[in-house]
């Protein structure tokens, strides 16, 4: 008999467990299907020059750790606490008030106490106390300290790859302790002894080599764009030309590579191209910097930096004035909070050509991006729509009742809340927000961020997406919402599965798609469908 | 009593005070020594972008752009527990979240009461007693006359509100850890140590105020002696006061080694004390080092055929000609 796939289950149970503190100190190492990630392939480890490359599996008894792994790890903790004040302070000041405990979508969906953000932090804090604090050395487990064993490593691998670095817990923490930061550093520690996750490394390695996570060759990128212009011609009857690697363009456009062919990213992708064409923007795609996202960010500082440098290098080579970024989540956490800091001389070098971003259509100066020179597409579109530079027929989106999912990274790592709402309301007549506890800074993660989009984590993803799905269900039942937007490529990949699993007749897509839907292009033919081929006018019944 | 009096009244407080001061300074020094590589504020409100976009006053503090906005955010965090105020509780099986402010209420009550009680204690250390201490004392004792008068006409009871709220808040905080399943799971013994020590201090203090009177003049003499480094040779005070002092000393000595350091740590938290102006003001990572990636030439070499084809296309992708 074939095993039932988790996605097809009719019923799941959430069992909350409340073990004693002593129980919690013991490592949980059970590698349950649906909750543990596969190990990185040898090929990717070698390609990225990671320490101690080898074939291994989380299911093995022996993880073939390097001989002096304990020493390496303790030295690394010491190094990181000096390099990251966040780490040192977050290790020291948590009072375990429990405000964060039920804020994690994985905790809500699994009931596993080790998914409480505070306990996730304790996984590392217990080791820190044992080796770096006096009380921990003196009183052992009574001071909440424990020995570093291989089981602890297994537990770290299991649980630090059950965190999507969404930062929701850090909103509620009275000291701003950010579990995403702890997870990032824990993954850095695991990397130091040769433990990495397959999914994020496949994408990261592909990105280093080909310039995008999907591993598309430059020809592949060009082909995708060709399909896009063909599609646009079919829908609107207009010949659109797309510059690629064009030197001297004013703007370099960078988008997450999922947009090049995945569904429903595709409609956002052709949306960008339609809008740029209609505005007559002087822009270019790049095959070298074909990726906005950065899966290295989910792994380690060095891999993240390897990927990050391409955009400034390409900006310099092409001689563009500024950079426009597509709809993506973690991409924007990196572009907003890390990009210019990661870059060293590549940034100084790029400054020779880059200028403070000015919207050529409206003349607006993007002062908030004056140093990084990178503008979010929704900031750009909000500006364009505010100045009425596009001809919009809102009724073209009347078949949709829309709600918006604030993607974790652009919400809590950037503060982009009003731009998407302004853009959506400018092009749609029917917009409803989800309940307060599920939007803006309190937004729930889709459950698949930070390298957890892997298929082997399906059960974790569907459970972790439950709070978000319930919020969608609420607006679906109350207002008849049938379209969910999110400005994030991971969301666009994760939500179709999630909404189907929770039996919600709601489709999902990016925001630029809606803009392109409503936009009347010069010389377009009569349109009776949206970009997806759905008939305009009548309310869209989405099939589950 | 005199040897014991010297030990508990002079020696232990000095040792504890020393550990406290040096320990706290050391920890703070240690924190400042580790560097801040990235600017990582948690942005809980609308960023500053286009000038006409709706950005409320609260947005400006939850997602500060300037230094003064960041300062206000910190002040709200320290004095009003802004983040705890946002607390919601996820309800299963209803699968929705409701706002809950109990933790905020009792945590805020505890900390403010503690602060006011500490300020009231200044009158033991300072002579003459500063005006603000007297004012706070009077405000705090606002209820004393009425209750005392109603309760016992001859015996005026001085009810200090903060002393009682301090006790109530501490009991609630202990109750959470003991009887709420989730909180019990995540509590470590050290969490109880801190609470119980504080309770011991508070209960002995309250006993002195309401049940067993202690000679205040003597207490003041000892306190001022300790502060001026001219302690009485062998203080002989009431046992209850000595017990109070002992608990305070233990708490002080325990402070730098414990989670109580959060009181200083919050000021060092990079997700709260940095402005969200990342793209306008570049942050420099002091230990940044170059990492080699694939540069354009290598990339071109590897995908030469593709790149040449693109060159022939004139770097433009067009729709296919209709046949």
Cα three-residue angle A386-A387-A389, rounded to 5 degrees? 115
Whether A69 has a pLDDT exceeding 70, the answer reads yes
Using 50 as the pLDDT threshold, list the residues of chain B that sit under it.
146-150, 152-154, 323
Whether A42 has a pLDDT exceeding 90, the answer reads yes
**What's the predicted TM-score (pTM) here?**
0.92
CA dihedral (B61, B64, B69, B74) positive or negative: positive
Which of B175, B264, B317 is the best mutation test for A, with the most CBs of A within 10 A? Answer: B317
Residue-level pLDDT at B155? 54
Structure tokens at B270: 């990079």
Q: What ipTM goes with this model?
A: 0.90
Exposed / middle / buried, residue B187 (Cβ in 10 Å: 0-12, 13-18, 19+):
buried
Q: Do B46 and A305 touch (CB under 8 A)?
A: no
| Contacts of A248 by beta carbon, 8 Å cutoff, 6+ apart | A318, A319
Q: Do A309 and B293 touch (CB under 8 A)?
A: yes
Tens digits of per-residue pLDDT, A183-230?
A: 999 999 999 999 999 999 999 999 888 888 888 889 999 999 999 999
Q: Do B271 and A178 touch (CB under 8 A)?
A: yes
Residue-level pLDDT at A36? 94
| Contacts of A364 by beta carbon, 8 Å cutoff, 6+ apart | A358, A383, A387, B50
Tokens 């309250």 sit on residue: B206
Residue-level pLDDT at A3? 65
Residue-level pLDDT at B34? 93
* Pair type for strands B88-91 and B96-99: antiparallel
Cα B105 from chain centre: 14
Tell me what the mean pLDDT of segment A414-422 comes to. Answer: 94
Q: Could you say which DSSP state residue A259 is in?
A: G
Query: For chain A, what is the mean pLDDT?
Result: 92
Q: Do B292 and A306 touch (CB under 8 A)?
A: yes
Inter-chain CB pairs, A–B, below 8 Å: 343
Contacts of B172 in chain A (CB under 8 A): none
Taking the C-alpha atoms of residue A428 and residue A520, their distance in angstroms, rounded to an integer, is 14
A481 Ramachandran zone, left/alpha/beta (phi>0; psi -120 to 50): beta
Taking the C-alpha atoms of residue A458 and residue A332, their distance in angstroms, rounded to an integer, is 25
Whether A8 contacts chain B with CB within 8 A: no
Whether A541 contacts chain B with CB within 8 A: no
Question: The domain at A12-30+51-195 falls in which architecture?
Answer: Orthogonal Bundle (1.10)
Chain A 225-254, residues with CB within 8 Å of chain B CB atoms: 225-226, 229-230, 232-233, 239-247
Q: Do A287 and B265 touch (CB under 8 A)?
A: no
Q: How confident is the model at residue A245 (pLDDT cuts 50, 70, 90)?
A: very high
Tens digits of per-residue pLDDT, A159-183?
A: 999 999 999 999 999 999 999 999 9
Tell me what the mean pLDDT of segment A433-447 comes to. Answer: 92
Residue-level pLDDT at B148? 47
Tens digits of per-residue pLDDT, A510-531?
A: 999 999 999 999 999 888 889 9
Whether A26 contacts chain B with CB within 8 A: no
Residue-level pLDDT at B12? 92
| Chain A CA closest to residue B277 | A368
Q: Do A467 and B31 touch (CB under 8 A)?
A: no
Give the Å distances, CA to CA, from A198 to A210, A239, A295, B1, B243: 18, 41, 11, 70, 59
Chain B nearest C-alpha distance from A235 (Å): 12
Give the Å distances, CA to CA, from A117 to A106, A163, B190: 9, 9, 19
Q: Do A337 and B96 touch (CB under 8 A)?
A: no
Chain B nearest C-alpha distance from A68 (Å): 26
Q: Do B258 and A135 touch (CB under 8 A)?
A: yes
Ranges of each domain in chain A: 12-30+51-195, 204-518
Residue-level pLDDT at A5? 77
Q: How confident is the model at residue A11 (pLDDT cuts 50, 70, 90)?
A: confident
Tens digits of per-residue pLDDT, A255-270?
A: 998 888 888 999 999 9
- The answer to whether the beta carbons of residues A337 and B63 sit under 8 Å apart is no
Contacts of B30 in chain A (CB under 8 A): 88
Q: Taking Cα atoms as reference points, which of A165, A510, A100, A121 lies closest to residue A334?
A: A165
- Domains of chain B by range and CATH? 2-312 (1.20.950.20)
User: What is chain B's percent helix, strand, coil content, to nearest 5?
Assistant: 60, 5, 35
Length of chain B: 323
Q: Do A337 and B38 touch (CB under 8 A)?
A: yes
| DSSP line for A6-54 | GGG-S----------HHHHHSPP----TTTSPPBPPHHHHHHTT-SS--
Residue-level pLDDT at B143? 63
Q: Do A413 and B43 touch (CB under 8 A)?
A: yes
Give the Å distances, CA to CA, from B318 to A225, A228, A229, A369, A402: 9, 10, 7, 32, 33
């Amino acid at each position: 008999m074939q095993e039932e796939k988790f996605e097809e289950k009719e019923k799941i149970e959430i069992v909350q467990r409340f073990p004693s503190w002593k129980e919690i100190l013991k490592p949980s190492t059970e590698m349950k299907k649906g909750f543990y990630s596969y190990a990185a392939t040898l090929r990717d480890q070698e390609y990225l020059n990671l320490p101690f490359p080898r074939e291994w599996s989380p299911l093995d008894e022996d993880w073939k750790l390097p001989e002096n792994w304990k020493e390496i790890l303790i030295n690394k903790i010491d190094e990181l606490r000096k390099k990251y004040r966040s780490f040192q302070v977050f290790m020291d000041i948590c009072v375990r008030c429990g405000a964060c405990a039920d804020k994690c979508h994985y905790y809500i969906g699994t009931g596993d106490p080790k998914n409480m953000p505070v306990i996730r932090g304790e996984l590392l804090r217990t080791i820190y106390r044992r080796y770096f604090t006096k009380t921990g050395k003196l009183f052992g487990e009574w001071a909440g300290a424990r020995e570093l064993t291989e089981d602890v490593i297994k537990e770290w691998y299991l649980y630090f790859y059950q965190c999507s670095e969404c930062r929701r817990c850090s909103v509620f923490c009275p000291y701003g302790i950010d579990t995403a930061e702890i997870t990032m550093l824990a993954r850095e520690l695991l990397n130091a002894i040769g433990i990495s996750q397959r999914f994020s490394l496949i994408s990261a390695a592909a990105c280093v080599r080909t310039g995008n996570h999907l591993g598309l060759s430059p020809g592949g990128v060009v082909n995708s764009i060709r399909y896009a212009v063909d599609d646009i011609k079919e829908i609107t009857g207009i010949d659109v030309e797309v510059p690629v690697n064009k030197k001297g363009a004013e703007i370099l456009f960078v988008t997450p590579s999922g947009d090049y062919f995945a569904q429903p990213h595709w409609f956002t992708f052709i949306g960008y191209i339609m809008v740029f064409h209609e505005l007559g923007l002087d822009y270019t795609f790049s095959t070298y910097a074909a990726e906005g996202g950065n899966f290295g960010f989910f792994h380690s500082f060095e891999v993240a930096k390897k990927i990050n440098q391409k955009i400034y290098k390409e900006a310099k080579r092409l001689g563009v004035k500024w950079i426009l970024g597509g709809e993506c989540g973690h991409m924007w956490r990196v572009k907003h909070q890390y990009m210019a800091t990661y870059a060293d001389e590549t940034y100084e070098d790029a400054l020779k050509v880059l200028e403070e971003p000015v919207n050529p259509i409206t003349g607006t100066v993007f002062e908030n991006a004056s140093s990084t020179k990178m503008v979010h597409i929704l900031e750009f579109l909000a500006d364009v729509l505010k100045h009425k530079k596009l001809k919009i027929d809102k009724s073209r989106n009347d078949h949709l009742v829309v709600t918006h999912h604030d993607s974790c990274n652009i919400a809590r790592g950037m503060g982009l809340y009003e731009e998407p709402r302004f853009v959506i309301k400018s092009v749609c007549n029917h917009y409803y927000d989800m309940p307060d506890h599920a939007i803006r800074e309190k937004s729930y993660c889709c459950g698949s961020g930070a390298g957890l989009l892997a298929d082997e984590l399906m059960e974790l993803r569907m459970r972790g997406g439950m709070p978000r799905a319930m919020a969608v269900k609420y607006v679906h039942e109350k207002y008849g919402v049938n379209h969910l937007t999110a400005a994030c490529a991971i969301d666009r990949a994760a939500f179709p599965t999630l909404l189907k699993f929770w039996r919600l007749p709601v489709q999902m897509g990016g925001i630029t798609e809606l803009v392109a839907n409503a936009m009347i292009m010069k010389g377009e033919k009569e349109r009776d469908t949206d970009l997806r081929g759905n008939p305009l006018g009548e309310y869209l019944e989405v099939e589950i | 009593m005199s040897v014991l009096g010297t030990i508990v009244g002079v020696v232990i407080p000095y040792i504890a005070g020393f550990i406290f001061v040096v320990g706290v300074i050391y920890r703070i020094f240690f924190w400042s020594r580790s560097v801040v590589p990235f600017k990582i504020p948690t942005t809980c409100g609308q960023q500053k972008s286009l000038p006409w976009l709706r950005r409320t006053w609260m947005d400006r503090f939850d997602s500060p752009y300037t230094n003064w906005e960041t300062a206000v955010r910190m002040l709200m965090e320290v004095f009003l527990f802004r983040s705890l105020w946002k607390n919601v509780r996820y309800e299963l099986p209803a699968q929705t979240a409701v706002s809950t402010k109990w933790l905020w209420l009792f945590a805020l009550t505890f900390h403010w009461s503690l602060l006011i009680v500490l300020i009231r204690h200044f009158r033991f250390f300072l002579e003459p007693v500063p005006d603000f201490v007297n004012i706070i004392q009077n405000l705090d004792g606002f209820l004393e006359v009425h209750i005392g008068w109603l309760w016992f006409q001859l015996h005026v009871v001085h009810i200090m509100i903060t002393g009682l709220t301090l006790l109530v808040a501490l009991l609630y905080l202990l109750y959470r850890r003991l009887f709420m399943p989730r909180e019990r799971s995540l509590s470590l013994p050290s969490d109880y140590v801190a609470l119980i020590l504080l309770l011991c201090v508070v209960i002995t203090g309250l006993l002195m105020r309401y049940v067993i009177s202690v000679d205040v003049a003597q207490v003041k003499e000892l306190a001022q002696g300790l502060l001026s480094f001219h302690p009485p040779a062998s203080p002989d005070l009431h046992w209850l006061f000595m017990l109070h002092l002992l608990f305070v000393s233990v708490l002080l000595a325990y402070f730098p080694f414990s989670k109580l350091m959060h009181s200083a740590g919050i000021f060092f938290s990079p997700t709260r004390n940095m402005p969200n102006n990342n793209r306008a003001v570049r942050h420099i990572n002091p230990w940044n080092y170059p990492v080699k990636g694939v540069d354009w030439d290598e990339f071109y070499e590897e995908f030469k055929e593709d790149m040449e084809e693109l060159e022939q296309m004139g770097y433009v992708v067009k729709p296919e000609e209709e046949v």
